[in-house]
């Protein structure tokens, strides 16, 4: 009896499945970033390699500016002129912003242990 590969032909290697290209994360926890389109900045505290939020959240973004899901998404301790909040932002919408100095968010001290070389140091109890 001749063994067959999944393609059905003896001795042939099955074709590769095309997968979407997933970009590598440009930012890491502790990096200070700002949004390309909207007036806010923040500190990265977690990274999802691809979109990992609800469909309702994603569909609420206007289609004209809705980012692709197959890219890193960042959890930020964010701030604007009026408030501090948590933001979830695609990689395509972020740029580095350490030149503007520290971020004023009430949870900074919970997750980070000061700054060094333009970025926040992650508290050792939060590293994974």
The confidence band for 69, taking pLDDT boundaries of 50, 70 and 90, is very high
In terms of Cα–Cα distance, which of 112, 96, 94 is closest to 104?
A: 112
What pLDDT does 5 receive? 47
With residue 42 as reference, give the H or E element that holds it. strand 41-48
Contact between residue 71 and residue 92 where contact means Cβ atoms under 8 Å apart:
yes
Listed by start position, the domains of the chain span 32-126
Average pLDDT, the chain: 87
The confidence band for 64, taking pLDDT boundaries of 50, 70 and 90, is very high
pLDDT score of 67 more than 70:
yes
- Using a 10 angstrom Cβ sphere, with 0-12 exposed, 13-18 middle and 19 or more buried, the burial of residue 74 is buried
What pLDDT does 4 receive? 47
What pLDDT does 9 receive? 54
Angle at 93 between CA 87 and CA 98, to 5 degrees: 75
What pLDDT does 39 receive? 95
Average pLDDT over residues 38-49: 97
What pLDDT does 8 receive? 53
The confidence band for 120, taking pLDDT boundaries of 50, 70 and 90, is very high
Contact between residue 53 and residue 81 where contact means Cβ atoms under 8 Å apart:
no
Backbone angles phi, psi at 81, to 5 degrees: -65, -25
User: Quick one: tokens of 105?
Assistant: 């968010």
User: Among all chains, which residue has been given the structure tokens 């520290």?
Assistant: 102
């Amino acid at each position: 009896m001749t063994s067959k590969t999944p393609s059905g032909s003896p001795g042939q290697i099955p074709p590769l499945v095309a997968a979407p290209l997933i970009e590598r994360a440009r930012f890491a926890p502790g990096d200070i970033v700002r949004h390309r389109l909207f007036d806010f900045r923040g500190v990265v505290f977690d990274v999802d390699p691809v979109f990992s939020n609800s469909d309702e959240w994603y569909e609420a973004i206007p289609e004209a500016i809705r980012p692709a899901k197959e890219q890193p998404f960042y959890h930020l301790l964010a701030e604007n002129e009026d408030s501090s909040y948590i933001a979830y932002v695609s990689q395509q919408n972020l740029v580095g912003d350490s030149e503007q100095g520290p971020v004023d968010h009430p949870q900074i001290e919970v997750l980070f242990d000061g700054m060094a070389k333009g970025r926040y140091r992650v508290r050792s109890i939060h590293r994974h």
